[in-house]
């Protein structure tokens, strides 16, 4: 049934190839390291993570999973379909002495069939724009969260400004990311993500934008969702 998996093998290979540099804060993963405290703080302010059951979908090398575990989560499960990033994540947790995080190679749709309504919080960050059928990921995340629980998504908007900043700027001018990291056609408008979430049965609570200042080289949460943005949603209790 491998052919039925909702994943693009080229995307997974891309992330596997870079996996050994995942925790190098000066590598291609610098942006993830930089935005991590911002998103972690935002999530934790909406739903305190202490003692919660958490799922991180498309966790990669575990930058967010491990940080959420260190925030005092009861347990964090990170899942991805790229094998090398998962190995890196596992090794890093070991090195950090973080015991409340686990990693698994499994499709989110398969986990949804196995463990429906099991998690207080599901995060799925910077992943939807790499997947053939993102709406299927949204549905699976909804199945996995408990009634009353929270789901968080972040992705890239699709418009001329996002093309200029997220692809031309980040990949070609500033070289923050390797060329080919993102494909414009796969970017997702907030209205599209909102519709998939609504159709899945999630209620949108908050939206935030993420802005990058190339002069100070810093990110900040903002109200400008035109490039990178985050959704906080709840499954009705
Ligand atoms: N969520 C992490 C990593 C983002 S990079 C963070 O924000 O820090 C994107 C990740 O999505 C990569 O680890 C890649 O392997 C993963 N990914 C891409 N397609 C996927 C799929 N179909 N299923 C699960 N993970 C996927």
Token output for 183: 């494909």
Is 127 touching ligand 1 by the criterion CB < 6 Å? yes
Rounded CA-CA distance 142/153 in Å is 11
Q: Give 86 Cα–ligand 1 centroid separation in angstroms.
A: 10
Neighbours of 73 (CB within 10 A): 22
Please say if the pLDDT value at position 38 is more than 70: yes
Percentage of the chain beyond pLDDT 90 is 97
Is 135 touching ligand 1 by the criterion CB < 6 Å? no
Rounded CA-CA distance 20/22 in Å is 6
Q: Looking at ligand 1, which residue's alpha carbon is closest to its atom 2?
A: 59
Asked if 16 and 82 count as a contact pair (C-beta separation under 8 A), the reply is yes
Instruction: Show the beta-strand stretches assigned E in the chain.
Output: 53-57, 75-80, 101-105, 119-125, 145-156, 203-213, 218-222, 228-234
Q: Give 31 Cα–ligand 1 centroid separation in angstroms.
A: 14
Please say if the pLDDT value at position 174 is more than 80: yes
Rounded CA-CA distance 19/13 in Å is 10
For the stretch 162-166, contacts whose Cβ atoms lie closer than 8 Å and that sit 24 or more positions apart, written own/partner, are 162/187, 162/226, 162/227, 163/187, 165/212, 165/227, 166/227, 166/228
Is 210 touching ligand 1 by the criterion CB < 6 Å? no
Asked if 123 and 49 count as a contact pair (C-beta separation under 8 A), the reply is no
Rounded CA-CA distance 126/5 in Å is 19
Is 156 touching ligand 1 by the criterion CB < 6 Å? no
Please say if the pLDDT value at position 51 is more than 90: yes
Mean pLDDT of 160-164: 94
| 149 marked as part of a ligand binding site | no
At residue 4 the predicted structure's pLDDT band, cuts being 50, 70 and 90, is confident
Handedness of CA 194, 200, 206, 212 (dihedral sign): negative
Q: Looking at ligand 1, which residue's alpha carbon is closest to its atom 13?
A: 60
The phi, psi pair for 84, rounded to 5°, reads: -65, -45
Q: What domains does the chain contain, in order, with CATH numbers?
A: 47-234 (3.40.50.150)
Asked if 211 and 35 count as a contact pair (C-beta separation under 8 A), the reply is no
| 61 marked as part of a ligand binding site | no
pLDDT digits (tens, 9 = 90+) for 184-211: 999 999 999 999 999 999 999 999 999 9
Q: Give 235 Cα–ligand 1 centroid separation in angstroms.
A: 23
Please say if the pLDDT value at position 2 is more than 80: no
Q: Give 11 Cα–ligand 1 centroid separation in angstroms.
A: 9
- Mean of the per-residue pLDDT values of the chain: 96
| 180 marked as part of a ligand binding site | no
| 80 marked as part of a ligand binding site | yes
pLDDT digits (tens, 9 = 90+) for 52-82: 999 999 999 999 999 999 999 999 999 999 9
- Report which of 59, 153, 76, 67 is spatially closest to residue 120, judged by C-alpha positions: 76
Q: Looking at ligand 1, which residue's alpha carbon is closest to its atom 12?
A: 60
Percentage of the chain beyond pLDDT 70 is 99
């Amino acid at each position: 049934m491998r052919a039925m998996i909702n994943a693009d093998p080229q995307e997974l290979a891309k992330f596997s190839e870079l996996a050994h540099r995942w925790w190098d804060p000066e590598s291609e993963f610098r942006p993830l390291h930089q935005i991590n405290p911002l998103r972690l703080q935002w999530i934790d302010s909406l739903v305190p993570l202490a003692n919660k059951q958490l799922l991180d979908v498309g966790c990669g090398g575990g930058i967010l999973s491990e940080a959420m575990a260190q925030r005092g989560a009861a347990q964090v499960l990170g899942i991805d379909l790229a094998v090398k990033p998962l190995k890196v994540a596992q090794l890093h947790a070991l090195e950090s002495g973080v015991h409340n995080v686990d990693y698994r190679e499994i499709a989110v749709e398969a986990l949804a069939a196995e463990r429906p309504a099991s998690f207080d919080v599901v995060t799925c960050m910077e992943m939807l724009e790499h997947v053939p059928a993102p709406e299927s990921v949204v549905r699976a995340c909804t199945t996995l969260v408990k009634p009353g629980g929270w789901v968080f998504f972040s992705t890239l908007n699709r418009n001329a400004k996002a093309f200029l900043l997220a692809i031309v700027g980040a990949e070609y001018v500033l070289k923050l990311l390797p060329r080919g990291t993102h494909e414009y056609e796969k970017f997702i408008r907030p209205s599209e993500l909102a519709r998939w979430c609504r159709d899945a049965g999630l209620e949108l609570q908050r939206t935030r934008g993420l802005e990058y200042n190339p002069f100070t080289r810093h990110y900040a949460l903002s109200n400008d969702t035109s490039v990178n943005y985050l959704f906080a949603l709840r499954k009705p209790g």
